[in-house]
Amino acid sequence: MKGGFADLLERLADAKVEFVIVGGYAGIVHGCTYMTQDVDICCDFAPANLLALQRALSDLHPVHRMTPGRVPLELTAANVGEFQNLYLDTDLGHLDCLSEIQGVGGYEQVKQASVAIEVEGRELRVLSLDALIIAKEAMNRRRDKEAVRQLKAVRRLRQEGTSGGP
């Protein structure tokens, strides 16, 4: 699991950031074949956690990619409570940090609906297959419909006992 996205996740884990992998990358973990252009995580938006996230990314030149002028990420004790989501561009790729997942809930509900996986000796959490299907169905975008089709096929195969995985 080496590469831009993997390195981003490893940095967050090493910095003890509380997060769960969701979205397209979670689909890939579960066996989907589609490509994703970013890593989506649901994380605890408590100030200490967001400041840990900023420290983990600081040398990767994180910027808010949805703002005019791509403003650098500069979280402080004074402004950290203003954010519900962070859409970042870093030297290793896009990272979307979400405070809640449609169809599942906020970080605590997402964490409860996640499973642990081991990557490069680190324990990471990823949204469970069933919860990911619920989230993708709730989003109801064209690309999510294809993901749901694949995820349901993976679930069917697992139920038949022909595939392992998280």
Question: pLDDT of 115-163, one tens digit each?
Answer: 999 888 899 999 999 999 999 999 888 888 888 999 999 999 988 875 4
pTM: 0.90
166, part of any domain = no
How many independent structural domains does the chain possess? 1
74, part of any domain = yes
Residue 1's pLDDT band (cuts 50, 70, 90): very low
Q: Could you tell me where the beta strands, DSSP code E, fall in the chain?
A: 19-22, 38-43, 63-64, 85-90, 93-98, 100-101, 105-106, 114-119, 122-127
Q: What CATH number is attached to the domain comprising 103?
A: 3.30.460.40
Domain that residue 84 falls in: 4-159
Asked whether 163 and 156 are in contact (CB, 8 A), the reply is no
83 residue type, one letter:
F
The CA radius of gyration of the chain, in Å to the nearest whole number, is: 16
164, part of any domain = no
Asked whether 124 and 66 are in contact (CB, 8 A), the reply is no
73, part of any domain = yes
112 residue type, one letter:
Q
